[in-house]
Structure 1
């Protein structure tokens, strides 16, 4: 049956079908969203709880533990970790990728409700939760600064006007404000409280009753209705100075008599942000805009930026806007570069085909298949809700050299028949029928290569899902075009060989081509008569491939230069807020002096006093000579020269894996029930890992030297004086924990009223003796009479992983070292440490995903080869011939590994996917050889050696054409051209190197194995008394 016949006979039908592919593909392309990478949505929920003033140990045991116990029973929970700091706890819940995030949120909500009975009764509010996606980073950062406006007022504009308007843009999921929110702060003097005989709880009750916001009701008159309102609220801090606390001898005692009330900020010892350029540094409010999963990054960013001119009119002229970071800039640049690479690749492939065919008409025919296949793939992408991203576009670039193959094979066979004297129509009918089975074999066996990628588990499977589907779709469309449009065009466009008058270029190139064929024929004949030599070479290649695989460094995902870097900052545990501000200001000056820095945002005291972060925007790549990785390496010693600071600069990974607060990209975690034992071994691991080659910025989240004051209450004495522990704890809470005692309800926002002692009593530990607590007998009792105070140290934070106490050692990599080397070195080091059985270790985040991905890669390759074997076995109805075809695979893998090794590149996930692609590409040569050899045996009765020899000579030109088209089509990716080219390069290098070596060797090795396996087949037939069918 000739499936091409109807398409040759009905050219109008063929043209209209192709026009439909073109039309719907172009329309789909226009509507496709544009992103950096495919959407990888991790079902992740973050639960937050706060208890101001509570120690990390208290937060971990009293808040985190009860919640973790409930959460551990949720179905599909893959990991759970918590970080407890002074006054706050956050719990990260990550679920399996098959769980729906909304269903997870419902489960979490019900478990929070179930845990309420076990949580402290004095929590200011119940724990809250939010759906987060660790891989979904903000796409825009704005900095607002003003020379004259207070930060609190600037924060109001940011939260109440700008963030609200940004949130209404289609595709925006969240707008985060990093700033200083207004609060009224009641600051009391413990000495004056004692002098007046007032307890701090009296102040709390007075403030609560002085600031109320209750409905007044309505009055319905005969003709008019009135709403009752009153001045129940005090809207500014200074208004609380006149609040009456009590009366002494008939005279009111007001807040101003025992302290002061001011308009301040809610978090006065946290979240100090600066915006800095090379000219100046200013305190700032920062807005971070996140997009919804699956939305178009470029369109969302454009929508937000279009609002800026209108929103500027809503804020005073003294407010300056600065767009620090725009993710769409890099995405647009990289996508444009990939599109340029796609066009360049099409031109290169067209030229390669022309060199072999030496005819503009003949060259036109297969090259029509390229744009049609690519454009048709856009329609498939639209149907499946894919986006234009670096991976899907890279798939299309790689497709260019593949989609032209089928059309080349059909065209070459038709041209060959015309050269034998047939006219264009007869040659098209007979040539397409003759080659139809080969096209089906090549197309299906290439498509099935990408099926295992679709079923890869975890993040990598999600990441490369679109890549695999795009390539498979383009190959299927090209296969359809090659048996429909290509033979139809050949019948109309080509002239008979006897009608052509070839030019000088044809004569010169034809002579060179015939010389090449002649040389190949002579060398192939020698190889077929010395088959053992070829077999020995194959064995050596296999051994060498194994050596290369063990030797080559293993990576995970390549870094990208997005004109952006960041640095985590950590200071001594005992540092004060004011001292941290001074240290971070010094750091800002060093960053500002770096010549490749455009501007940056610096934030001090994020979760605790002793940490901070710097977001640095670099100059465009065309305006600097160093890559972001080089800048990070150069900045590392400079930034760490600030006394008292440890700075961990890094190039953020292209996709964030894991949701912890580690200070570096890779994490190694220890878990155990005994906290003392765990911390001991964590210190040992941190010290030993710091000495491992290739590791930088090694740090541990175990920080045990935060100064603490331990209040040892004499319970008997306190009880005798009429004091309960609850009263004493509440007094400390109100005095030193910035206690929220009331709420101001503004028109657009809500603000806290905070009670505390005056700043001078917070800076001196001896000031605790001035605090008095009112007993049940209405007498003030000084804290010093019922307790002793001891200065100790404690942890800055307490972490849990899977309900167990945990300690995490984080690290970055020095350029030139791979994550595979780091993982192996850490495992060897861990074996030398005599760990007790109660402590377990393991990698987290990117390092853990690297282990998972590479541990399953061997099985993936096995499944890929098995699927190809099954398809070929079904098509050829043979157990033997598929093995012959697959002999090219080890040769291609060796070429890929050798090329990566020579160019000093890692074998990362892109490179591994490139090797998987090679499995599909390299076996095409074998299919063309074996298919024609079997035909020669059946029709002419030739023996196996002669039939494969003739098949190799006849199919030499299409083999060279298809391989050269694929090789040169991949070359632009291998050269790493354009933005993001450094990330795509390993895949291109692997494919080019693999194709080059396999092209040379399969022309000789496959024929040898064909002869060997044919002899084996005959021997097996004699032993069993039958002969296996070959066709």
Structure 2
């Protein structure tokens, strides 16, 4: 028994089944996690090795190179990068997608263990770490309204504990502010006079600040523990400490050092709208819902504000807000699109009950999709909801075809039950095939082994779920409901349909086209060739970009003073930046963090709907206002990517060039020359070189032979000098529940000159005092702040963002200028990366996926028609749709992006649907009449359902194509491509497909007749 027969014969069963789908889908909707993008696993591992006190060059030579050479041959490795900076080596391993990272991590441990003995003394054990893109803070808070000391205490004692109690919050990390600190500033001359050193002071302090168990005593029949309580109670306890010399004399600590009860030195300052502040970063637990956690944090912040009226607590960054706004925008566009689709149905059907019957397919299919998403472990995000929104118009397509055919049978006088059964059964094969063609195009996308697959596979599954659900609804619920509630007018018979004005006009046009069929086909072929040639020759302008930029309402400003910058100098720079941009109308919040390296400023804008300028335009205004600050370097970047990057990409820079070679000075010179070249290119912004000279510094080069003679290791010398210059926490004092660090170092006046540094005394193993100058060469110099390598070669990276120009166009100009004007010495090479490389790679993969999609669609249709000829005819819709898609992008001034190409692949499966239904109906009629009569009979009858399905699909996409609302930019190119391709192909399909069918079928018949004549002649000869 056919499925439509079952649905009509058992209406209660079908009703219960649909209600079960609604119930399960509703429950699933409330339990689906919500996020901005699908969860992604990046095939990256990092190896971090600390080597305190070493210069970048020493780190590269002694740590990075051995680690790189040991891991370079690991299976699945696609790229090997490293950064050697002061005291730290970071090696980044990028694996092929699909690599088992757990196994790779185990292999790395084995490889690294073999070279650990070759690493220098003082280098820590290499640590292997995963890279988790989902491990970023979901919220940033700033607290102002008091001194740095007061704010830090409030944050640590009140705000942090409250936030960390929230279910789903992993941590609330406090940054900035100043804590109480006790400093022991040792006098180098006094230490030398008593033949003492810092290590002895540290040991004496620790020994005087201990508590511990001494054992137990029996008191009567009871065993009592005995415990010594020797911990410091207050600052005065430090003043009582005495240090024992080698001769056994006791020297008061106060004679050897100045004791100071104060606060940490200022090494960073934070600001909120110009007021000094501190920050809190909220990290969620891995499986928690971002939006739910953020709502709980917002509620807690509101309560804290009421409890502390003098303290200003601001949420300066909230990923959940953008997620909520984006998803709300997609849902709104989805609802508007659904309403437009229903209106189109009513305008065509002019029948309220018919419209309601078809319209029920939308909510039922969507709820069924939510249920399937839940069981497939998908989340509600911009991509999956975008997939549903893109397919909302298609959810009624199958139901339209089924209902329209049932309608036609009813108009012919067939009874309700039989009309429902026969009408659904007659088109079941055709709509099943059309659904499968749309689903089939996603199969190649799923098998792309790339970041794209992780982003778009959930969308492919979502669209597939929704379309299969709509097919199920069309073949079960629609026939059942039609058998009960469908009212039919006599005007809906085939004969009356053909009398309608637009049908008659189409029939006359089709008749003329069939008479001039070769002229029609020739005109089409010539037009397509000219169009393709125009695209190839850039006569028809089609801009390209990697990913569409999304307005996240956030801008990052990075600035520093050239030369030897300090916290004080950068603090002055931060004030200048703030004063220059604070009156920009679109700015809501300004937060800054200042350290000796640079100023990091975050500019949060007012909501998108409340401002006239987009985030890129505001960023450009900030650039213009801050470009002429004397002695300052300022870089401004708008956050325009789903992945957190600027320039409209997946998290990287738009343009990037890498120059590789052995010598750092030469690389820097080449990089600076390249930077000067591309700065002149229109649209280039935020040029940045990865290699730069560091601040003036003092280099301590340890003489290993001398050090060993005195019984020192490199680690001994490095840790001691680090304590002398920067200070080291040697113990702590607990007072009123507050833990106060005790820091030991030399007096600032004794550690700031080259001579004083040379005179720092260390104690050898034989008890002799050894000045640092005998253990190391000490000289002033200026090295590089970091050294980057790719695949074991040094390189300098030149990166830049772009403004108001298409990526493809800018990249072409950059490569042309660099290749023609940058003179590379022998042994140096240049390559290009950034979004341009990602775009080229992704376009190439998606192009292959599109070809495979065409092949799969053809195979599905060949299976349906049991013919190789009819699918060939239908495939003529694909080039028509390509032309329409490109025209849609050009007319709307939208660049072709990865998202647009995904839309084009979807289009391959969509545009054939109308032709499938038309050819299927022509084949049915051809058994009763001639080919031309069948075409002129069937095509006009299928005109209305074709127009209905096309208009419902395209109009439902109009809200997405307009790009209105937060995050709508992501789906906009897909919607434009589908609308342009479907409208253009449908208009021409109504003429081209019947004409091609007529020609091909005639050629086929002639060929068959010719074969028959040959066969007959051979049989006659044999007789």
Return the TM-score normalized by structure 1.
0.88
- Counterparts of 1:242 and 1:801 in 2: how far apart (Å)? 56
**1:997 aligned residue:** 984
Question: Which shifted more, 400-409 or 169-178?
Answer: 169-178
Q: CA deviation at 1:769?
A: 5.0
C-alpha contact 1:350 1:367 (8 A) present in aligned 2: yes
Secondary structure of the corresponding residue to residue 150 of structure 1: helix
**1:828 aligned residue:** 816
Q: Tell me if 1:518 matches 2:504.
A: yes
**2:1018 aligned residue:** none
- Counterparts of 2:69 and 2:734 in 1: how far apart (Å)? 36
**1:852 aligned residue:** 841
- Counterparts of 1:244 and 1:105 in 2: how far apart (Å)? 50
Q: Tell me if 1:528 matches 2:514.
A: yes
**1:984 aligned residue:** 971
- Counterparts of 1:856 and 1:1021 in 2: how far apart (Å)? 41
**2:433 aligned residue:** 441
Secondary structure of the corresponding residue to residue 559 of structure 2: strand
**1:932 aligned residue:** 921
User: Closer, same or farther in 2 for the Cα pair 1:49/1:603, shift >3 Å?
Assistant: farther
**1:560 aligned residue:** 550
- Counterparts of 2:249 and 2:836 in 1: how far apart (Å)? 69
- Counterparts of 1:929 and 1:809 in 2: how far apart (Å)? 56
**2:314 aligned residue:** 322
C-alpha contact 1:648 1:664 (8 A) present in aligned 2: no
User: Closer, same or farther in 2 for the Cα pair 1:462/1:894, shift >3 Å?
Assistant: same
User: Closer, same or farther in 2 for the Cα pair 1:699/1:969, shift >3 Å?
Assistant: same
User: Closer, same or farther in 2 for the Cα pair 1:91/1:214, shift >3 Å?
Assistant: farther
Q: CA deviation at 1:149?
A: 6.0
**1:588 aligned residue:** 578
Q: Tell me if 1:260 matches 2:258.
A: yes
**1:147 aligned residue:** 146
Secondary structure of the corresponding residue to residue 28 of structure 1: helix
1:21-100 matches, within 5 Å, as 21-72=21-72, 74-99=74-99
- Counterparts of 1:822 and 1:27 in 2: how far apart (Å)? 49
Secondary structure of the corresponding residue to residue 385 of structure 1: coil
**1:276 aligned residue:** 272
- Counterparts of 1:173 and 1:563 in 2: how far apart (Å)? 26
Q: CA deviation at 1:309?
A: 6.3
- Counterparts of 1:661 and 1:156 in 2: how far apart (Å)? 39
Q: CA deviation at 1:221?
A: 5.0
Q: Tell me if 1:975 matches 2:975.
A: no
C-alpha contact 1:573 1:703 (8 A) present in aligned 2: no
Aligned mate of 1:350, from 339, 342, 351: 342
User: Closer, same or farther in 2 for the Cα pair 1:979/1:526, shift >3 Å?
Assistant: same
- Counterparts of 1:663 and 1:744 in 2: how far apart (Å)? 46
Q: CA deviation at 1:546?
A: 5.7
Q: CA deviation at 1:81?
A: 3.0
Secondary structure of the corresponding residue to residue 506 of structure 2: helix
Aligned mate of 2:187, from 174, 189, 199: 189
- Counterparts of 2:213 and 2:810 in 1: how far apart (Å)? 64
User: Closer, same or farther in 2 for the Cα pair 1:465/1:148, shift >3 Å?
Assistant: same
- Counterparts of 2:798 and 2:10 in 1: how far apart (Å)? 69
User: Closer, same or farther in 2 for the Cα pair 1:783/1:70, shift >3 Å?
Assistant: closer
- Counterparts of 2:63 and 2:231 in 1: how far apart (Å)? 33
**2:1020 aligned residue:** none
User: Closer, same or farther in 2 for the Cα pair 1:318/1:243, shift >3 Å?
Assistant: farther
**2:174 aligned residue:** 177
Aligned mate of 1:610, from 563, 577, 597: 597
Q: CA deviation at 1:328?
A: 1.8
Structure 2: where are the runs of 5+ without partners?
1016-1023
Question: Which shifted more, 575-584 or 339-348?
Answer: 575-584
Q: Deviations over 1:943-964 (max 9, x none)?
A: 2x44333322121111111101
- Counterparts of 1:156 and 1:49 in 2: how far apart (Å)? 33
User: Closer, same or farther in 2 for the Cα pair 1:208/1:824, shift >3 Å?
Assistant: farther
C-alpha contact 2:201 2:243 (8 A) present in aligned 1: yes
Q: Deviations over 1:83-142 (max 9, x none)?
A: 33323344444444434555555555666655543334335x645455442355321111
C-alpha contact 2:411 2:492 (8 A) present in aligned 1: no
Q: Tell me if 1:572 matches 2:562.
A: yes
**1:687 aligned residue:** 676
- Counterparts of 2:644 and 2:513 in 1: how far apart (Å)? 51
Secondary structure of the corresponding residue to residue 557 of structure 1: coil
Q: CA deviation at 1:696?
A: 0.8
Secondary structure of the corresponding residue to residue 809 of structure 1: strand
C-alpha contact 2:212 2:229 (8 A) present in aligned 1: no
User: Closer, same or farther in 2 for the Cα pair 1:361/1:318, shift >3 Å?
Assistant: closer
Q: Tell me if 1:768 matches 2:757.
A: yes
Question: Which shifted more, 772-781 or 551-560?
Answer: 772-781
Q: Deviations over 1:276-298 (max 9, x none)?
A: 22xx41132x1212334553211
Q: Tell me if 1:630 matches 2:617.
A: yes
- Counterparts of 2:688 and 2:1014 in 1: how far apart (Å)? 68
Secondary structure of the corresponding residue to residue 20 of structure 1: helix
1:716-795 matches, within 5 Å, as 732-739=721-728, 741=730, 753-765=742-754, 767-768=756-757, 770-773=759-762, 790-795=779-784
**2:375 aligned residue:** 383
Secondary structure of the corresponding residue to residue 971 of structure 2: helix
Secondary structure of the corresponding residue to residue 451 of structure 2: helix
Q: CA deviation at 1:420?
A: 2.8
Q: Deviations over 1:508-556 (max 9, x none)?
A: xx99982212221222222222223322332223541464476412112
Q: CA deviation at 1:251?
A: 6.5
- Counterparts of 1:576 and 1:360 in 2: how far apart (Å)? 74
Q: CA deviation at 1:853?
A: 0.9
1:630-709 matches, within 5 Å, as 630-656=617-643, 667-709=656-698
Secondary structure of the corresponding residue to residue 955 of structure 1: helix
Secondary structure of the corresponding residue to residue 780 of structure 2: strand
Cα RMSD of the aligned pairs, angstroms, is 3.8
Q: Tell me if 1:303 matches 2:296.
A: yes
Question: Which shifted more, 693-702 or 1017-1026?
Answer: 1017-1026
User: Closer, same or farther in 2 for the Cα pair 1:282/1:415, shift >3 Å?
Assistant: same
Q: Deviations over 1:689-728 (max 9, x none)?
A: 3333332111101112532334578999999999998876
Question: Which shifted more, 248-257 or 699-708?
Answer: 248-257
Structure 1: where are the runs of 5+ without partners?
none
C-alpha contact 1:34 1:389 (8 A) present in aligned 2: yes
1:223-242 matches, within 5 Å, as 223-234=221-232, 240=238, 242=240
Q: CA deviation at 1:775?
A: 6.1
Question: Which shifted more, 14-23 or 192-201?
Answer: 192-201
- Counterparts of 1:850 and 1:265 in 2: how far apart (Å)? 51
- Counterparts of 2:217 and 2:105 in 1: how far apart (Å)? 44
- Counterparts of 1:165 and 1:76 in 2: how far apart (Å)? 45
Q: Deviations over 1:814-835 (max 9, x none)?
A: 1x22333343334434533454
> How many residue pairs get matched?
1006
C-alpha contact 1:592 1:599 (8 A) present in aligned 2: no
Secondary structure of the corresponding residue to residue 4 of structure 1: helix
Q: CA deviation at 1:1002?
A: 1.3
- Counterparts of 2:234 and 2:794 in 1: how far apart (Å)? 44
User: Closer, same or farther in 2 for the Cα pair 1:41/1:205, shift >3 Å?
Assistant: same
**1:430 aligned residue:** 422
